[in-house]
Amino acid sequence: MRVLGIETSCDETAASVVALDGASAPEILSNVVLSQIEEHAAFGGVVPEIAARAHVEALDGIVEAALADSGVVLGDIDAIAATAGPGLVGGLIVGLMTAKAIAAAANKPLIAINHLEGHALTARLTDGLDFPYLLLLVSGGHTQIVAVRGVGDYQRWATTIDDALGEAFDKTAKMLGLPYPGGPNVEKAAASGNAARFAFPRPMKGSAQPDFSFSGLKTAVRQAATAIAPLSDQDVADICASFQAAVADALGDRVGRALNRFRQELPGKADPALVVAGGVAANRTIKATLEKLCVQAGFQFVAPPLKLCTDNAAMIAWAGIERLRAGMAEENAADFVPRSRWPLDSISAPMVGSGRRGAKA
Ligand code: KG4
Ligand code: ZN
């Protein structure tokens, strides 16, 4: 099985070919990712219109490069898988329309993939993980804990009631005058800071409600920064370190609850695993906190290589293979319309603040 994947839901234009032959391990034959960070840096965040235009300009070349790198010609591809949501609708339209055109021209099936399903199934591509397992997705757009029970069988156990965690890092960086994207710069500054200087809140810690919240923490950071302005480099470092400590602590509390729930609800799993995905998973303080938590709870800690944790098309191609293999690709007709909002788990109640149009993801 060889599937061409296309990803354009946010600010990465990506294409990849993934192969699965019989019972052997899957193989990523190519994985091309073009980041638009430079296009958006001046604005301190992703500008949807700029993103969509950049996808239009780059995508055909990226697909060509992914095919060339893979050594597979289009005729030998079994299906085209493209991200159809959730995400910025301009980019989704570019990716899905391109995929439809390629599928029609080459007479291949098209598989519309939920971007979150791509993240959810990556650990099976990289680590051959068996179902069920627990996924913590922490990126610029999403903060979720999902019980991954099978292909197409996902239960969202927790989500953010306000900002995504990556967004909280980015906004904190912006407040402190650090460049975009904020996460890596906050982590860098935190390395020389005193994490005990500011007692920032640990949002939701101890709460019976399983969800996340980061906007109160962001406000506390703003108040602390305003109170001692102008900020020296040491002040910035101390705020970053204290912020990061608060985040890690709050995250550990939330994930700890989910590990317990997994043990109770899916007790048959002898060697349970927690998988992390998303750009924030690159953060060493957060990673160390989660790793420790897993050791204590008897969970395997799985962190796929960062390149496959952040947005990429190999995860989309792989989700296509999983769907083909499970006989679930035919649900995806070629007339699939991009969905800017597309919850992975349609049963979970929409979050507060998700508005009239319902849950985003
Ligand atoms: O998964 P990703 O590359 O893209 C999407 O959001 O889809 O995640 C990007 C997010 C950004 O908010 C970025 O600031 C954050 O991940 N990030 C980090 C770190 N590296 C990236 N946050 C904290 N620490 C890091 N080292
Ligand atoms: Zn993503």
Within 8 A by CB and 6+ apart from 53, the residues are none
Q: Do strands 143-150 and 153-159 pair parallel, antiparallel, or not at all (unpaired)? A: antiparallel
pTM above 0.85, yes or no: yes
Q: pLDDT under 50 in the chain at which residues?
A: 355-356, 358
- DSSP state letter for 344: S
Of 73, 36, 86, 85, which is closest to residue 57 (Cα–Cα)? 36
Q: Which ligand 1 atom is the nearest neighbour of the CA of 140?
A: 6
Predicted confidence at residue 327, as pLDDT, reads 92
Q: Which ligand has the shortest distance to the CA of 166?
A: 1
Q: How far is the CA of 74 from the centre of ligand 2 (A)?
A: 26
Of 309, 119, 279, 291, which is closest to residue 184 (Cα–Cα)? 279
d(CA 269, CA 272): 6
Ligand 1: list residues with CB < 6 Å: 10, 139-141, 166, 169-170, 181-184, 187, 278-280, 282-283, 310-311
Predicted confidence at residue 175, as pLDDT, reads 95
Q: Give 267's Cβ-side CA count (13 Å radius).
A: 2
d(CA 344, CA 160): 14
d(CA 252, CA 106): 48
Within 8 A by CB and 6+ apart from 42, the residues are none
- DSSP state letter for 88: -
| Ligand 1 binding pocket mutation candidate from 8, 40, 122, 169 (most atoms within 8 A of CB) | 169
| Ligand 1 binding pocket mutation candidate from 122, 218, 280, 308 (most atoms within 8 A of CB) | 280
Q: Which ligand has the shortest distance to the CA of 278?
A: 1
Q: How far is the CA of 139 from the centre of ligand 2 (A)?
A: 6
